[in-house]
Structure 1
């Protein structure tokens, strides 16, 4: 599979803000925080056109409390991903709302073939101030404030997008060395 990158679109910020309002309404808790993360949150950088949203809760034990509420907004919950990241609940929503997928993809479910359908949103539900939370915000903010590093990241992504990948996870892993290096700088 090829990874499709698009030039930065200012509408991504608006799409995030609209989805953020929906999430606040359905979750109905003043204790959560919602952040726009990933490349679509970084102005003027090529990105996969998928809005990554990080929803933070105060305690890890609260994560499961919000699963059905997020699903009610048309998301599919990838329960099976908790094998790799038990501290995170991951959801996706397709661009085409007419495509019917299971609401929950469990540990024993086969990989779901979405066909030619693309994701529109990803949600990462995690504990506020967890390593995941902190690292996502550090990386985003460091790139926003360092044009040279942002350009370097964009060039890596463009180069990787030319390759054929077995999965998006393989593409993500190929960027991990750069991301780790940037996080080390950002933490200093």
Structure 2
């Protein structure tokens, strides 16, 4: 079971810790749009396809990220946390995922052995973790917190629009967009962790 210290620990993005299995991304246009009530249905479609491909290897399939929070503007890309018995054992899930149209694009051994897959239709990012991963726990906690706290949801929405505007004006990638909105996310996470008694 993940400890409180593991859950509250912030990891800094390390580009040297990413092992690309496909060409690395170039500069991207970041689009943040109003909440779309069709996003939950898109998640259900994707989850059904993943479950059909993996069967019992898919221990859990969770809708996370901004598209999982009603009323929150987001990039129109569904974020999914897929838990498998061991994310390092790619032979157990990668061939079946890729055959179902979800190519695995990179791995991050230093970041909870994270693997990343993508769907083009509907657009989705699929984050692959092992059981009790602290990052997956954070994702679920933040989703539920933003659903319950409209003031934080509004503050996060403003940060998303500002970050996207800056990236589109100056150039950059999704990771740059994420880095620019990180201070607001960490402020919200700190409030959330304190409310849950994970930090003093």
User: Does TM, scored on the shorter chain, surpass 0.5?
Assistant: yes
Tell me how large the CA RMSD over aligned residues is: 2.0
2:137 is matched with which residue? 134
Whether the aligned pair in 2 keeps the contact of 1:63 and 1:126 (CA below 8 Å) is no
Of 47, 70, 73, the residue aligned with 2:97 is 70
Alignment of 1:1-188 (within 5 A): 1-29=28-56, 32-62=59-89, 64-79=91-106, 81-82=107-108, 85=111, 87-95=113-121, 120-163=123-166, 164=168, 165-188=171-194
Which ranges of structure 2 fall in alignment gaps of 5 or more residues?
1-27, 195-200
Whether the aligned pair in 2 keeps the contact of 1:153 and 1:178 (CA below 8 Å) is yes
Whether the aligned pair in 2 keeps the contact of 1:63 and 1:125 (CA below 8 Å) is no
Shift of 1:185: 1.9
Tell me the TM-score normalized by structure 2: 0.75
CA distance in 1, matches of 2:36, 2:58: 30
Shift of 1:130: 1.1
Whether the aligned pair in 1 keeps the contact of 2:77 and 2:123 (CA below 8 Å) is yes
CA distance in 1, matches of 2:63, 2:155: 21
Tell me the TM-score normalized by structure 1: 0.79
Count how many residue pairs are aligned between Structure 1 and Structure 2.
Answer: 164
Which ranges of structure 1 fall in alignment gaps of 5 or more residues?
96-118
CA distance in 2, matches of 1:85, 1:154: 26
Distance 1:55 1:74, change over 3 A: same
Shift of 1:15: 0.6
